[in-house]
Structure 1
């Protein structure tokens, strides 16, 4: 089903809402997810990245759309206590592929969107959205991640320019703005560009590893959505849509995260693929009020 033209991202979600699963109870959601999780063989679990390498070449393809990115990692940082964002995780590849599939298949139109990514880590998901033609993508993380994140932005920009010079036909739609900046969860953003961006979508990829992080991220998402409404003169009448990808690890942690989201958000689970469903889950959400 092809989308009508000139829809906001929230309207696009509403247009396909019948394809998504409403989530109203955290315990029921976890029971359903983990009944599928435990029915699958460990041999079928996706294994898409190598966290030991300093760089990974990622290629995501759907139809005539191909996104190729070189992503730098820093396994040394990732070995430090509490650090998980300095290497790629399978969820970021799965989420990136999902966005490519949605854009190539006409299910979602991601072009012309202003997008904020929280907990970007290596930045793969946000960079994929940039290459798919988003108007503006803001990658954010804590200060110690900025060097790696900026390096990957530079790699992306160089690779995109090289591709467009060499190929007569552009293989991606990169033409917008992309940059990285600090954003500490639980605190208002200090970069005024974040406040003035007119955000359409907030993206989070596999950022919840502990119950305490679940609460902090949920609170930060609420704050970011509200600020996008109040601080941006260009904010439309439609709410910001949050897109969350998460690998299923601990049922306790996942239940806590879903419960915290349900306090403030309307939440739907979006089917990803036969390969990923059961190990990874993806949600769309927006504030209740």
Structure 2
């Protein structure tokens, strides 16, 4: 009997195309764990090797190319900065790719509405997630330390100037433990996100 129930459940669960991946996957629906399940689904699509960190990105390259929201994004990196202790925001990490693709899928599938929502991203690094959120219609403020802002702003300028944005994205400095700029907290953000907050 268990096999019949499993087959019936599979038949009821819809198959959908996942964002720009274009691969058909079984949609995970409902329950408190659906967001976590969706994230793991996105992670599993690329089938990263468990022992290999950063299966999506090469931190040795100067650029990461990724399709999202019908656009080809080109994210510049500064791998030479990794040699400086405490500098992690100059390269992409898998968690940023997973969060960006999760947001895209959640909007595509109707699980999340980002159009017109204010988002503050903490520790934005190279800016991929903020750019994707802006493409999805959010008013995004990406934040990082002062020495990361030049690369962050360059990536925003490179990727957002030639597309028709449904939202917007701006970059500002945020040092944890200090009072944030009023623009970050007034009005209160609808979402505060961070993919790899160190």
TM-score normalized by structure 2? 0.72
Q: Which residue of 1 aligns with 2:7?
A: none
Q: Which residue of 2 aligns with 1:95?
A: 99
Within the alignment, does 1:84 sit opposite 2:88 as a pair?
yes
What do you get for the CA RMSD once the two structures are aligned? Answer: 2.6
Instruction: Report the number of matched residues.
Output: 160
Match of 1:151 among 133, 151, 154: 154
Structure-to-structure mapping, 1:176-255, within 5 angstroms: 176-189=167-180, 191-208=181-198
The higher relative CO (CA closer than 8 Å, separation ≥ 6) is in 1
Task: Tell me the alpha carbon deviations over residues 138-183 of structure 1, each in whole angstroms, 9 at most, x when there is no partner.
Answer: 00001110100110110122231xxx5xxxxxxxxx2322100000
Q: Which residue of 2 aligns with 1:244?
A: none
Runs of 4+ in 1 over 6 A off after TM superposition: 43-46
Conserved in 2, the CA contact under 8 Å of 1:67 and 1:128?
A: no
After superposition, the Cα gap between the structure-2 partners of 1:195 and 1:47, relative to the gap in structure 1 and judged at 3 Å, is: same
Within the alignment, does 1:175 sit opposite 2:166 as a pair?
yes
Q: SS where residue 205 of structure 1 aligns?
A: coil
- Deviation of 1:67 after TM superposition, in Å, equals 4.0
Unpaired runs of at least 5, structure 1? 1-15, 22-39, 165-173, 209-289
Q: SS where residue 42 of structure 1 aligns?
A: coil
* Aligned equivalents of 2:53, 2:185: Cα separation in 1: 39
Unpaired runs of at least 5, structure 2? 1-28, 35-47
Conserved in 1, the CA contact under 8 Å of 2:114 and 2:133?
A: yes
Q: SS where residue 95 of structure 2 aligns?
A: helix
* Aligned equivalents of 2:160, 2:115: Cα separation in 1: 17
* Range with greater deviation from structure 2 (108-117 or 194-203): 194-203
Q: SS where residue 83 of structure 1 aligns?
A: coil
- Deviation of 1:198 after TM superposition, in Å, equals 3.0
After superposition, the Cα gap between the structure-2 partners of 1:109 and 1:49, relative to the gap in structure 1 and judged at 3 Å, is: same
